[in-house]
Amino acid sequence: MSNLKSAKCYLGEEGDENNSCFISNESLTVIKNSKKNTFPLEWVKQVYFKEKIFLIPIVFGGISASLSALALFQYYFNPWLMLSILFASTLVVYYGIQGGTALVVVTPIKEYDFFLKQVSDNLKAFVAYITATISGIETSYFIELTEEQEKTIQEKSELQLPENGFPLSTSKRKSHSAVFQILFDEPTFEIRYQKDNGGQLSPVIFGTLKMESLRKIEMAD
């Protein structure tokens, strides 16, 4: 089975490939500051958000604050310089204690933290999707195609989706259009969650849709 992307989300700005994550039928990949971390799905026990402190600023600030205070009281150096360093070090320690939000990936070996500037609604939906996937809860996606789109995919065996994506549904519903279930055996597409006109998060499919990735839903199903 090919290791192809089936769902994707950005960690920060939309379109920033150097800070993104995606899940395939075999693995979860997190790219942070251009560094790629790939985890086999069977290793991923949990994915969640957590407020964490920054240890490096705390350690660095604590050491420099202690040394500057010692030098200040011993009159080793310029007192104004030492006061400035002490003040700056205190701010660094404060920054470390304040910490930030991290995306945590739990594996049998260790927990991996990926600090984030912000947590978007899309990323929350993506983490929920990952949780459902690793828990064995299958999320079904359905797409409605017009008669012309259905004819195109039958003749060419594939349909090129619009650049801004094509809306999906997570439930079957009666429609005048042809309804198909999306299959993930060999995905040549990506699914992302985006806000619709009503402000609700909805799945959107991007890329190329092949005939073998579809199962037509009859009203009797």
Q: Per residue in 49-86, pLDDT tens?
A: 887 666 666 677 677 767 676 666 766 666 767 667 76
Is residue 151 in some structural domain?
Answer: yes
> What pLDDT is attached to residue 1?
37
Q: Which of 48-62, 154-168, 202-216 has the lowest mean pLDDT?
A: 48-62
> What pLDDT is attached to residue 14?
81
Do residues 56 and 24 touch, judged by C-beta distance below 8 A? no
Question: Which alpha helices (DSSP H) does the chain contain, by range?
Answer: 55-74, 79-98, 121-134, 147-156
- Is the domain of 161 the same as that of 214? yes
Q: Which domain holds residue 218?
A: 140-221
Q: Which of 11-15, 99-103, 126-130, 203-207 has the lowest mean pLDDT?
A: 99-103
pTM of the predicted protein model: 0.59
Q: How many domains does the chain have?
A: 2
Beta strand 166-167 pairing with 35-40:
unpaired
Q: Per residue in 80-127, pLDDT tens?
A: 676 677 677 777 665 566 557 889 999 998 999 898 888 888 888 888
| Cα-based distances in Å from 199 to 75, 172, 202, 216 | 62, 21, 9, 29
Chain-centroid distance, C-alpha 18: 12
